[in-house]
Amino acid sequence: MSDRYNFELIETKWQAEWEKTNAFKTMPDDRQKFYCLEMLPYPSGRLHMGHVRNYSIGDVLARYKRMQGYNVLHPMAWDSFGLPAENAAIQHKTW
């Protein structure tokens, strides 16, 4: 087993699988829409219970609304820019 992540092999494999199964295909429908946007995570240091609390609440709310029949948009991204990320990079000397 290699110690390195072979991104080309793994990404190509899963992108083909997602394409084959239409994993990300969306269809317009008449369900009521619900948009759940949480605070975006950023690299500010070590994970702590505050992270769990922040993301668990939004995840539970989005899942609950899906169970009620809503068409839910629950984006998750990574805020790698901005002042908190910059301050963390300076503090950890990773800039």
Q: Taking the chain (95 residues) in consecutive chunks of 10 residues, what is each chunk's mean pLDDT?
A: 84 96 89 89 63 83 95 80 73 77
Phi, psi of 33 (to 5 degrees): -90, 145
- Residue 9 is assigned to a structural domain of this protein: no
- Residue 46 is assigned to a structural domain of this protein: yes
What pLDDT does residue 81 have?
65
43 and 87 in contact (C-beta within 8 Å)? no
Domain of 70, in residue numbers: 26-91
Task: Give me the number of domains the chain comprises.
Answer: 1
- Residue 1 is assigned to a structural domain of this protein: no
What pLDDT does residue 80 have?
61
Q: How far is 28 from 24, CA to CA, in rounded Å?
A: 13
Residue 54's SS3 state is helix
- Residue 40 is assigned to a structural domain of this protein: yes
| Lookup result for tokens 């539970």 | 60
- Residue 11 is assigned to a structural domain of this protein: no
- Residue 21 is assigned to a structural domain of this protein: no
Query: pTM for this structure?
Result: 0.57
31 and 72 in contact (C-beta within 8 Å)? no
What pLDDT does residue 76 have?
79
- Residue 76 is assigned to a structural domain of this protein: yes
What pLDDT does residue 78 have?
67
